[in-house]
Each structure stands twice: as structure tokens, then as C-alpha cells.
Amino acid sequence: MNKKSCLDKILQKRILAIIRLKEVAIAPELVECIISGGVEILEFTSNTPSFLNEIESTRKRYPNVLVGAGTILNEKLAKNAIGAGAQFLVTPNVNEKVAIIAQKFNVPIIMGAFTPTEVANAMVSGADIIKLFPAQLLGIRYLKALMEPFNKAKFFAVGGINHENVKDWFAAGVHGVGIGGGVTGKGTKNSFDLEKVRKNARLIMSINKGLE
């Protein structure tokens, strides 16, 4: 799948599930629950142990699901993630060097930004999507204020998004959302309520479908 196809799918599906784990033994079951709940875009964060292996194995098991790498803080992480099969990159901050790697290997980049200056710099750096993070701190009114001068930017809201507020974020005009705990719950070191994870995924996807 080329960059345009990946980006189109991300923008079409609009829900990105963020997987950040302390132990990866539960990862296959957790991924299965999220995907069976209807989610088709996954992000493994780089501070998840063996995240490169999880990207590679998930892509093999679920070829129709887009799998990306998050918390990409430097060029080495970016290159390693792409080498493991990451189909898109996500950063928590503006990082021109990571954007250059994404462009070199022709993969979409979702770049974290918070202030107007950061949004502008992310766009100049070539971000395909602006990740408003942490979105919950200043909320929807802040997003709307940012969208006025940056009306050509494609925003994803990340941080504090769940089934209770996702409809409000879409109503405000975001192009998508990244959801971590709102899908997986808090869990413990190596345990999650897997049935609840599945239900959370289904609920969020049903809300998203109802808004299409």
C-alpha cells in the first residue's frame, strides 16, 4: 500500500487505537480484541517493549489492518520502525528530522503539536496530519481556535478521548482521533479486561459510523 492509500485509509477510518504496554505477553490478545471490535488502524508506541516485533507480527497476522509506530522521537526510531513494517509514523512533538525520514521512505507522518507555532512548524516540516496533543488540556474550544488560522490542516485529537466525548470532538471538526486508554482501559502491568476492550472498541466504532 502506497503513502496516499495509507493516508486515505487513516482519514477515512478516523479512529486510531494507541497501544502502549509495559509487558508484551498480552499484546496478541489485546490486538485481537481491538481489531475484532472494528478498529483498523493501530499504533504501537516505541516505549512498548519489543514494539518492532509487535509491528512486524501484527502486520503478518492482520494484512488488512494499518499498523504504525508512535512516540517516534528520533531518526533511529523512525528508520527501525519503517524497517519493521510500520506503515505510518506518529510523533508527540514537532520533529523535522523524523519528517525527513518519513518523506524519504514515503510513509505518512502524524506529527504532534500544541501551540500555533508548533502547528505551523509541523506543516512546514511536511506533516500529513497534525496530532493535537495533549488535546484534553485545553479542550475543544482551543481546537476550534487553532482551526481558524490553520483551516487547511488535518487535525487528529489525542489525549483523553473516549466514547463519552469522541462525538463532541468530531462535531468540532477534527479529522480523526487517537485513543489509548479510552479503548484499552488502564489495565495493569500485564493484564487487561479483554472483553471490556472489545466492547470499548465496538462502542467507539459504532459512534464513528453513526457520524458518517
Per-residue pLDDT tens over the stretch 48-77: 999 999 999 999 999 999 999 999 999 999
Which residue of the set 56, 131, 195, 212 is catalytic? 131
Number of structural domains in the chain: 1
DSSP string spanning 122-147? HHHHT-SEEEETTTTTTHHHHHHHHH
Q: How confident is the model at residue 16 (pLDDT cuts 50, 70, 90)?
A: very high
The reported pTM is 0.95
pLDDT digits (tens, 9 = 90+) for 69-88: 999 999 999 999 999 999 99
What CATH number is attached to the domain comprising 172? Answer: 3.20.20.70
Q: How confident is the model at residue 189 (pLDDT cuts 50, 70, 90)?
A: very low
Q: What is the structure's pLDDT at 212?
A: 63
Q: Is 43 a catalytic residue?
A: yes
Which residue of the set 9, 43, 60, 96 is catalytic? 43
pLDDT digits (tens, 9 = 90+) for 113-172: 999 999 999 999 999 999 999 999 999 999 999 999 999 999 999 999 999 999 999 999
Distances (CA, A) of 59 to 44, 68, 116, 122, 166: 12, 10, 35, 28, 27
Question: Region 8-32: what's the mean pLDDT?
Answer: 95
- Do residues 160 and 168 make contact, with C-beta atoms less than 8 angstroms apart? no
**Count helices and strands in the chain by DSSP H and E runs:** 10, 8
Q: What is the span of the domain harbouring residue 145?
A: 3-211
Q: What is the structure's pLDDT at 49?
A: 94
